[in-house]
Chain A
Amino acid sequence: MSAATIALLGQPNSGKSTLFNALTGLRQHVGNWPGKTVEKKEGSFSYQGKDYNVADLPGSYSMSANSDEEVITRDFIASGKADVVCILADSSQLERSLFMLADYAGISVPCFLILNMADVAKNQGKKINPAAIEKKLGIPVMLFSATDKNAYDQFYKTMERAIKEKAMLNVTSLEQEYKKVDGYSEICETLSDAVIPGYTPMWLTVKAMEQDQVVTAKLRNTLPNGIQKTVEMFVKQSQGAIATGGCKFAWIDGILDGAVSESKTKAKLGKLDRIYTHKIWGKAAVILTVVLGLIASFIPALPIMVMGMGVDSVNGLIRTSLTDAGLSAFLTGLLCDVLIQGLSFVIKMLGFVFGVTLVFGLLEEVGVMARISYVFDNTMGKLGLQGKSVMPFLVSFGCTMGGAAGARVIDNWGQKVLTIALAWAVPCGAAWAIIPMLSTVFFGAGAPLIIVAILFVMILHMWITAKIFSRGLVKYEDKCGMIMELPPYHKPKWGSLMRYVFGRTKDTFFRVVKVVLLVSIVFWLLSYSTSGTENSILYKVGVTIEPFTKVFGLPWQLFIAFIASSFGKEGAVGVIGALFTGGGSIYQITTSSAVTENINQILLANVSRPEALAFIFAITFNLPCIVALAATYQEIHSVKWTVRIAAYYTFTALLLSCIAYHVGLLIW
């Protein structure tokens, strides 16, 4: 039983996530709001022996019904599930960031105000008097810096005070402003506290005047017809959101008057921003930042990857000792091939997730992410995505699992799913190891042409996939262009960031292991054979459906290698070698990436050029690997969409294979 539930409410860049991570550390849970495609973040912490729950509320700049996030946020608050709402504002831009507080005003739930980024404001020469603001608002107000460890004690005290006093925001002066707007008083009088529980008539009136769709619909259902008509008539006459917006900012000006001594900050771009926003060099600078970030991420990733290799190397020892102990080949295989090999596979890739989560988290916290959004807004907008989506794409050239993990910086669920779905089309490091090798073997000096063709198809693939998937994922209202703030750069809070990264990596590990082991067992059983490969189910199915797979240009050996490549691309070439020479376990080769010595001769002797071309396209655009699949599920929390994306990729890979094969037949 917790002492109280605190809801965190704030605009983007108000430091909400930093505060949430700092408060809850590893005690957090990420899921979806019931029946919605919006991420739900909850956590808990203890203070002086009492447990508190924290909900990190989604949303953007206001409490209007502009998105699912905003509706969820205000419904959660009005439902009374939170005992107190902690509203965050950015001290360095109070005039603008107090808008959330003004939009909140009129919801009947206790709250307190945190003026975050006090350090940034101080550096700008602003002097803020929280006591003066507190007096005008009637709720606890404190200056705070989420990156300052020593500030938290004061935070807890302010929070407890708000809970104890059940502090309600004083809205008298705001209502005075609203009363100046034509029609406000008339509408307000027709409404009572009971119309929609949790919201005052003032709040409802303002939202009705702003033509808020949800409120308008609810009023239509609850108000008697006559009153309803009066309301609609006034809403039509009034200037709506422009007038109420003006009132809110006038109120904010009144609050800040005398409480903030302004040393006017100049509107100038810093050195770094002049580079990032440069017409020509901006994109290059962003890509360079991401690439350098990725390289840097290998430093913390390396120990984890080495650990994975360590698991791999003891596997042989375990296998020998198990066999010596007389354990059956079936059980030994299950233990060594599936369990240990699978763990090693996941741990190796987990290093990448750790690195990417850290670097992306850092870029976001420091403020670079907003610049990336700005630079790529136009390009990514064509795909129905935010500018930030460029980052997961770049990461996916290294590892699709890292790309999927990096997609968490995209705050809209549909756009996140779409980003990951497109990131799958980017050939990963393992594919880049195979493509040049196969291309050189079969096409010699023509190999660079194949690589150019792959990149061209990749872009086409992403464009078409965006068209197909965006219909179900990206709503019309999410497509509207960027209106966002570029926050001032600020220092990261390392402790909170690291705890978040560790928590995230841990979560990913457990969920991914589950999926990987499950699929591994199935694949292992299919490829299990007591002697050679010819007893396995995979072989039998492959041979039986060969007349069909030949249409795609894939003889059974290549088709099985294609199936194996959806497990992990590293081993695809090794599998072909094993199948043509009839030796070795398909499963072990798939997961170990061992390659037969004279693979070149084997390939040239058995595979025609059109078939090779078909195969290259088939594995490049097949689903990236089982770990990427699991990571995708971990990020988007939807079995339906994960399966959809996977099935789509299997299908399109075969389609591309078929096209490549028939083009190849025409050439050779």
Chain B
Amino acid sequence: MSLNEVRENTDAIINELKGDARFISRITSIGLTPGCRVSIIKNDKNRPVLLYSRDTMIAVNRKECAGILVSEVKA
């Protein structure tokens, strides 16, 4: 599943990043790399997804989320 499909208040692990070199570079430079665990804080329609990872609150545009493939982690 992609990042924008994860329900609020759930954790997920990033499995794969899909996109051009530019996208990969931007997304890794903010700390989102495969294997990285993220907590979804907010996931409202028409808003960027808010997540928490590496001690940081990060907002990711919904379209960019489509390129971030994750699997949910059961708490």
Taking Cβ atoms with an 8 Å cutoff, the residues of A that contact B are 60-62, 64, 66, 92-97, 99, 103, 210-213, 240-242, 245-246, 248-249, 265, 267-269, 277, 279, 282, 370, 373-375, 377-378, 381, 477, 480-488
Known: A377-B48, A378-B46, A482-B60. Contact between A249 and B31, CB under 8 A? yes
A62 to B25, CA, bound (A): 8
Known: A210-B21, A211-B21, A269-B42. Contact between A484 and B31, CB under 8 A? no
CB pair B29–A103 under 8 Å, yes or no, is: yes
CB < 8 Å: which of A96, A248, A483 contacts B55?
Answer: A96
Query: Which residues in B have their C-beta under 8 angstroms from that of A269?
Result: 41-42, 50, 57
Query: Which residues in B have their C-beta under 8 angstroms from that of A486?
Result: 50, 57-59
A279 to B48, CA, bound (A): 11
A213 to B63, CA, bound (A): 23
If A279-B44, A370-B59, A485-B57 are given as contacts, then 20 extra A-B residue pairs at C-beta distance below 8 Å, sorted by A number, are: A61-B29, A93-B56, A95-B54, A96-B31, A99-B29, A212-B25, A265-B55, A269-B41, A279-B47, A282-B47, A374-B48, A375-B47, A378-B48, A477-B22, A480-B61, A481-B61, A483-B30, A483-B60, A484-B59, A487-B57
Query: Which residues in A have their C-beta under 8 angstroms from that of B54?
Result: 93, 95-96
Q: Which 6 pairs, one residue from A and one from B, show the smallest C-beta to C-beta distance?
A: A481-B61, A245-B28, A267-B52, A62-B29, A211-B21, A96-B31
CB pair A483–B64 under 8 Å, yes or no, is: yes
Query: Which residues in B have their C-beta under 8 angstroms from that of A279?
Result: 44, 47
CB pair B55–A95 under 8 Å, yes or no, is: yes
CB pair A485–B44 under 8 Å, yes or no, is: no
Query: Which residues in A have their C-beta under 8 angstroms from that of B52?
Result: 267
Query: Which residues in B have their C-beta under 8 angstroms from that of A240?
Result: 21, 24
CB pair B47–A377 under 8 Å, yes or no, is: yes
CB < 8 Å: which of B26, B33, B64 contacts A66?
Answer: B26
Known: A64-B29, A267-B41, A374-B50. Contact between A242 and B21, CB under 8 A? no
Query: Which residues in A have their C-beta under 8 angstroms from that of B55?
Result: 92-96, 265
A60 to B60, CA, bound (A): 15
Query: Which residues in B have their C-beta under 8 angstroms from that of A246?
Result: 33-35
CB pair B56–A485 under 8 Å, yes or no, is: yes
Query: Which residues in A have their C-beta under 8 angstroms from that of B41?
Result: 267-269
CB < 8 Å: which of B22, B28, B60 contacts A242?
Answer: B28
A484, chain B: closest CB distance, angstroms? 6
B45, chain A: closest CB distance, angstroms? 8
CB pair A374–B33 under 8 Å, yes or no, is: no
A246 to B17, CA, bound (A): 12
A643 to B38, CA, bound (A): 48
Q: Which residues of B1-29 are within 8 A (CB) of A?
A: 17, 21-29
B34, chain A: closest CB distance, angstroms? 6
Of chain A, the residue at the smallest CB distance from B23 is: A480
Query: Which residues in B have their C-beta under 8 angstroms from that of A97?
Result: 56
Query: Which residues in A have their C-beta under 8 angstroms from that of B44?
Result: 277, 279
Known: A374-B48, A486-B50. Contact between A241 and B62, CB under 8 A? no
A210 to B22, CA, bound (A): 9
CB < 8 Å: which of B22, B24, B25, B30 contacts A484?
Answer: B30
Query: Which residues in A have their C-beta under 8 angstroms from that of B26?
Result: 61-62, 66, 480, 483
Of chain A, the residue at the smallest CB distance from B53 is: A96
A196 to B21, CA, bound (A): 22
CB pair B62–A481 under 8 Å, yes or no, is: yes
The interface centre, meaning the residue of B17, B42, B48 with most chain A CB atoms within 10 A of its CB, is: B48
Query: Which residues in B have their C-beta under 8 angstroms from that of A64?
Result: 25, 29
Query: What is the 8 Å Cβ interface bit string for chain B, positions 59-72, against chain A (1 contact, 0 not)?
Result: 11111100000000
A481 to B33, CA, bound (A): 18
CB pair B58–A378 under 8 Å, yes or no, is: no
The interface centre, meaning the residue of B17, B24, B39, B44 with most chain A CB atoms within 10 A of its CB, is: B24
11 contacts across the A-B interface (CB closer than 8 A): A61-B26, A61-B30, A242-B24, A245-B29, A381-B61, A481-B61, A483-B59, A483-B61, A485-B58, A486-B50, A487-B57
A62 to B31, CA, bound (A): 11
A265 to B39, CA, bound (A): 12
B29, chain A: closest CB distance, angstroms? 4
A96 to B36, CA, bound (A): 11
Query: Which residues in A have their C-beta under 8 angstroms from that of B59?
Result: 370, 373-374, 377, 482-486
A97 to B57, CA, bound (A): 12
Of chain B, the residue at the smallest CB distance from A207 is: B25
Of chain B, the residue at the smallest CB distance from A102 is: B29
Query: Which residues in A have their C-beta under 8 angstroms from that of B28?
Result: 241-242, 245, 248
Query: Which residues in A have their C-beta under 8 angstroms from that of B21?
Result: 210-213, 240-241
A622, chain B: closest CB distance, angstroms? 35
Query: Which residues in A have their C-beta under 8 angstroms from that of B50?
Result: 269, 277, 374, 486
A486 to B30, CA, bound (A): 12
CB < 8 Å: which of B33, B42, B48, B53 contacts A245?
Answer: B33
Known: A480-B64, A481-B61, A482-B60. Contact between A96 and B35, CB under 8 A? no
